[in-house]
Amino acid sequence: MKSHFCKSNIFMAFLSTAPLLIHLLILTCLFSYVQPRCHKDESTALLEFKNSFVIRRDASSDPLAYPKVASWSPKEKADCCSWDGVECDESNTHVIALHLSSSCLHGSITSINSLFRLSHLQILDLAANDFNGSLIPSQLGNLSRLTYLNLSMSVLAGQIPSQISQLSNLSYLDLSQNYLELKRPDISTIVRNFSNLKHLDLSYVDISSPVPSLLANFSALTSLSLRACRLSGKFPNDIFQLPNLQLLDLGQNDNLTGSLPEFRSSNPLRILWLDGTRFFGHIPSSIGNLDSLRGLDLRVCRFSGPFPSSLSKLSKLQYLDLSWNDFSGTVDFNTFLNMKNLTDLGLSHNNLSVLIPNLKSVAGNINATHPKFEVLFLGSCNLTSFPDILRYQDRLKLLDLSENHIHGKLPKWIWNTSMEVFYITSNFFGSFDIDFLPSRSLRILDVSNNKFTGRLPIPPPSIILFAASHNELSGEISPLHFNLSSIEYINLSHNKLSGVLPECLRNIKHNLSSAGFSQMCPFGSRLQVMDLSDNQFQGSLPRSLLADCMELQVLKLESNRFNDVFPSWLGTLPKLKLLLLRSNKFHGAITRNFDSDYDFSSLHIIDLSYNNFSSFLPSEYFKKWIAMKAPGASNSSYLATTIRITIEYSGTWYFEYTYPCSVTIKNKGKDMQYERVQEVFTVIDLSSNRFHGDIPECMGELQRLQVLNLSNNMLTGSIPSSISSLTQLESLDLSVNKLSGKIPQQLVQLTFLASFNVSFNHLSGPIPQGSQFSTFDSSSYKGNAGLWGYPLESLNTPKALPPSDSGSDEDDDEDSKSWFKSNWITILPGFVGGLIVGVAIEQFLAVDKSEWFLKVVDFVVLTKAKGRKGKKLRRTT
């Protein structure tokens, strides 16, 4: 009985606790089950997205880029929310964000991409990948939950689709730095639904329209970037007054105009970039109310008036550049020694006189109380001495003192700074007083257009650009000047430098490299421009110096004393566009380098004039000069070297400087200086040598040619009619040769021809008439006894008749008849008069026009023939 009671109690206790136990059992089962961490369809879509691209390290420019999708694997389907760059919602069931910027993705993206099956996406960041010129897929508009979209720097192209405007929840939109346009639909159509937008960046999108005034209604907007969008018209001033706007970038829109408004003290602007626009007028004194302003860039605008002193109130200002405007007056540099946060200052190229105090006159501890400048633009500021106050600027990265009036020596302490960019062009510096520049950080040094004398100092190995042209430097060049592995641009022209260029000792044999024979002169792997013109260099052009310069585009060696055969090995340099060897002692035949696959195939300009070359014209080369052949599309860009470096400091600064290529070319009979050379400009100048033989017919294949000068040689044969195929030709000089025969009538097809000279040859026959030939005077033809016709003779007098010492009577008459047929309207009034005019008019009224024309031509031919001694009359009319 007792035992039964106990069993019953235990049973009843079990029954009373069963629900709890069952609940615990269910929970245990639930937690022991591995729940999928994103929807199966979405993980599949992600894997398909990954497989639609290839991974390429060069698809992303960020040095820290890495392929985030590489870790995605089918084995990890159940845990896709943990994949790199993937973010899911709180319940881990749907993908809501893809953070895939700089992920090394390469390939096209289309509207059928599996990406657009991720309908819960709120954040999509695909910036800094390479989508291979794809259009932005219209399906993107179906991701209606997107609040953040960043497709910047991803090699997208074409019109931005109208479906983007459906993303009405967007607060962040960045499509910048692609090859996109926004024309149909225009910017107003795309952004009108984005009332919640806080960040809009369309920089480098081709908008080509005014800025829509509706943007002034976007009260949530904190950042607006429309840099280099080809904007036009007047900028709406109300946008400046948006209550939350902190960044406004309108730079590099050279057709955008506007002026600065009066600023309220509550204005939150922190960054204002207007550089390269047409904003004009005075800077209002109320700019001092922008107490949050940290960066102001007004470079290359049209502002004027006195220097805005209220800028001194902006205590948080770090970056200020007013260069290339029309500000006037005197500026006390102490103003800037007082705003401590200021690191970047640009005052260059205004009408300002900047007063910089001497170091002795600056009170206090300069290291503790004054700002540490990192970038200083003080070009054209009427400085007369080197500012010694810079001695303790130990953070200085860039210094521009160009176009001032500074005399004397450069202080030696300047080379011990941390400077990376140093410009002192167009001053009156007289000496370096140093053989080696000890700076370890210097990358750009331009000391051109000064009065430097003595030896050329040797720049540091870090140098990228070295320009010392237009000075009075002398002495022999050192091999160490070419021990520069990073050099991209070197210009030592217009000095008195002498000696021979060094041969370079290279590691050719493996057994030598281990013995410590390192490269002497590891020169050329990055070199784009080399200009040694107008010096006194002599000897041969060493192949080993330039043979590895695969990036070389411009080589200027003119006006020296080089004595060598034609450097055919330069034809192996695939990017060489401009070669100037003018006025040296190069000699011998011009022969091809048959080991080369290039043969100067990129050449646009070649000038070999004033040397001693003696051979046939290089017809084999003419057939290989591809860049001079097909006219192709017009290109307004200029041949130039662009140096890009990144300067790291408190705010990363990207420095880009373009050095245009300048050349002197004999064109239209004159030496013409081209400060900038268009990419399409094409020139061959082989004049003043001893070339002989015929002008080859294949010359007519160089259809892009604009200037052709073969004068002052010993060429024979006739002028090939194929030259009429050079439809872009503007100047043709064949003077002072031994050419014979007729001037081809086909040359009248050269409608761009502005200068033509065949003087002092043995040419004969009629001068072509019509088109540009009516503009050339007699100097174009003098010294050719056999030529006749306008402008060599007056047609209303019989004393200057065609020569009779060659050809048959019939040939002469046919020449005359052909010539008069093409020019009868011009010459008839001057040749026939009186009764003859009356007879002509009578015949004109009586007979068919074409028949009358032939009769008049026959009559004129007959009249001219009567004046020729020993000639038989053909017939009377």
Per-domain residue ranges of the chain: 272-405, 812-877
**How far is it, in rounded angstroms, from Cα 827 to Cα 861?**
13
Q: Tell me whether strands 86-88 and 95-99 are parallel, antiparallel or unpaired.
A: antiparallel
Check residues 348 and 669 and name the one with the higher pLDDT.
348
Distance, CA of 772 to chain centre: 34
> What pLDDT score was predicted for residue 92?
79
Tell which wins on pLDDT, 339 or 694: 694
User: Nearest-CA neighbor of 819 among 860, 867, 771?
Assistant: 860
Q: 10 Å Cβ neighbour count for 438?
A: 10
Confidence of residue 691 (pLDDT cuts 50, 70, 90): very high
pTM to 2 decimal places? 0.79
Q: How confident is the model at residue 291 (pLDDT cuts 50, 70, 90)?
A: very high
Max avg pLDDT among 172-176, 662-666, 850-854: 172-176
Coil vs helix vs strand at 664: strand
C-alpha closest to that of 432 among 461, 453, 459, 402: 453
Cβ(248)–Cβ(269) below 8 Å: yes
What's residue 640's pLDDT? 79
pLDDT of 859 strictly over 80: no
pLDDT of amino acid 667: 82
Q: Residue 638 above 90 pLDDT?
A: no
Structure tokens at 601: 């195939």
Query: What is the overall mean pLDDT for the chain?
Result: 83
pLDDT at 480: 86
Backbone angles phi, psi at 799, to 5 degrees: -80, -20
More confident residue, 415 or 515: 415
- Strands (E) located in 70-209: 86-88, 95-99, 105-106, 123-125, 148-150, 157-159, 172-174, 179-181, 199-201
**What distance in Å separates the CA atoms of residue 859 and residue 668, rounded to the nearest whole number?**
40
Q: What is the pLDDT of residue 649?
A: 61
* pLDDT range class, residue 146, cuts 50, 70, 90: very high
Q: Which pLDDT score, from 0 to 100, does residue 645 have? A: 78
**Strand-pair partners of 467:** 446, 491
Q: Which residue has the higher pLDDT, 163 or 877?
A: 163
Q: Compute CA distances 187 → 222, 680, 814, whole Å.
A: 18, 34, 68
Lowest mean pLDDT among 30-39, 421-430, 526-535, 737-746: 30-39
What's the average model confidence in pLDDT over 95-99? 96
Within 764-848, where are the H helices?
809-831, 835-846
Q: Per the omega criterion (within 30 degrees of 0), is the bond before 791 cis?
A: yes
Read off the pLDDT of residues 798-852 as tens digits, 9 standing for 90 and up. 333 444 333 444 444 444 444 444 444 433 333 333 333 333 333 333 334 334 3
How would residue 686 be classed by pLDDT, with cut points 50, 70 and 90?
Answer: very high
The pLDDT value recorded for residue 145 is 96
Q: Which amino acid is at 475?
A: G
Taking a C-beta distance cutoff of 8 angstroms, is the pair 129, 104 a contact? yes
Tell which wins on pLDDT, 363 or 180. 180
Contact 875, 857 (CB under 8 A): no
Residue 118 · residue 95 · CB < 8 Å:
yes
DSSP conformation class of 773:
G
In sequence order, the β-bridge partners of residue 453 are 472
The more confident residue out of 33 and 115 is: 115
Residue percentage of the chain with pLDDT more than 70: 80
Peptide bond into 798 cis (omega under 30): no
pLDDT digit string, tens, across residues 207-247: 999 999 999 999 999 999 999 999 999 999 999 999 999 99
Summarize the confidence of residues 645-657 as an average pLDDT: 68
Least reliable range by pLDDT among 211-215, 412-416, 483-487, 817-821: 817-821
First-to-last alpha carbon distance for the chain, in angstroms, is 163
Residue 445, pLDDT > 70, answer yes
Cβ neighbors of 559 (< 8 A, separation 6 or more) are 533, 534, 535, 582, 583, 584
Bond from prior residue into 185 cis (ω within 30 degrees of 0):
yes
**Mean pLDDT on 720-742:** 96
Q: Quick one: which of 248, 200, 244 has its CA closest to 222?
A: 244
Q: Is the pLDDT of residue 253 over 90?
A: yes
What pLDDT shows up at residue 377? Answer: 95
62, amino acid identity: D
Considering only residues 865 and 761, tell me which one the structure prediction assigns the higher pLDDT.
761
Burial (Cβ within 10 Å: 0-12, 13-18, ≥19) of residue 99: middle
272-405 folds as: 3.80.10
pLDDT at residue number 290: 95
Q: What span, in angstroms and rounded, lies between the C-alpha atoms of 270 and 316?
A: 9
Query: Is 538 a residue whose pLDDT tops 70?
Result: yes
Instruction: Kindly tell me if the per-residue pLDDT of 273 is higher than 50.
Output: yes
What percentage of residues in the chain have a pLDDT greater than 90?
63
pLDDT, position 19: 56
Higher-confidence residue of 21 and 533: namely 533
| C-alpha–C-alpha distance, residues 813 and 874, integer Å | 9
Q: Residue 392 class from Cβ within 10 Å (0-12 exposed, 13-18 middle, 19+ buried)?
A: middle
pLDDT at 24: 47
Question: What whole-number distance in Å separates Cα of residue 855 and Cα of residue 850?
Answer: 9
pLDDT given for residue 11 in this prediction? 40
Q: To which H or E segment does residue 189 belong?
A: helix 187-191
Residues 6+ apart with CB under 8 A from 261: 237, 240, 241, 284
Q: Which of the residue ranges 19-28, 337-346, 426-435, 753-762 would you say has the lowest mean pLDDT?
A: 19-28
